Amino acid sequence: MDEILAKVGPEQSIELEKYHAGKTATLGHMTPQDGAYLARGMLACAAALCGPDPPLVGTVIADAPLPVLRWAVKPSEGDGIVLTVTIQSGLELTFRVPRGARRGPSGV
């Protein structure tokens, strides 16, 4: 099975590699900001495709609410908490929230 891996590249870049049968091939480089937007778009597409009414081929999905199946909060090893969210595709996303992090407009 092929897998696309992300790794830290030179000069604070992100490298994408294709992994197959123990071998890797570099696919490209991007900035951290480009990587963040690509990841957001890919998660949004994955969530949309797992829903009951998937979008049509060619639909661009830049951002979308992620359907959360479950979430958990636990203390982090440092200060603050760790929030784990599982979205509809079964992927777990883990966030470390340091103590004293700013609250959003809703107070959450």
**Full domain range(s) for residue 96:** 67-108
For tokens 């107070």, the residue is 107
Could you tell me if residue 102 is inside a domain?
yes
In a domain? residue 15: no
- Neighbouring residues of 29: CB distance < 8 A, sequence distance ≥ 6: 9, 13, 14, 15, 16
Distance CA 76, CA 92 (A): 17
Number of compact structural domains in the chain: 1
pLDDT of the chain along its 108 residues, tens only? Answer: 788 888 999 999 999 999 888 888 888 889 999 999 998 888 888 888 887 889 999 999 887 788 889 999 998 887 889 999 998 778 899 999 888 776 666 655
Structure pTM?
0.68
- Residue 39 and residue 88: Cα distance in Å, rounded? 16
Give the CA distances from residue 92 to residues 30, 63, 67, in Å, rounded to whole numbers and listed in that order: 24, 18, 12
In a domain, 36, yes or no: no
Q: What is the distance of C-alpha 75 from the center of its chain?
A: 21
pLDDT at 106 (0 to 100): 60
Q: Looking at the domain assignment, is residue 24 inside a domain?
A: no
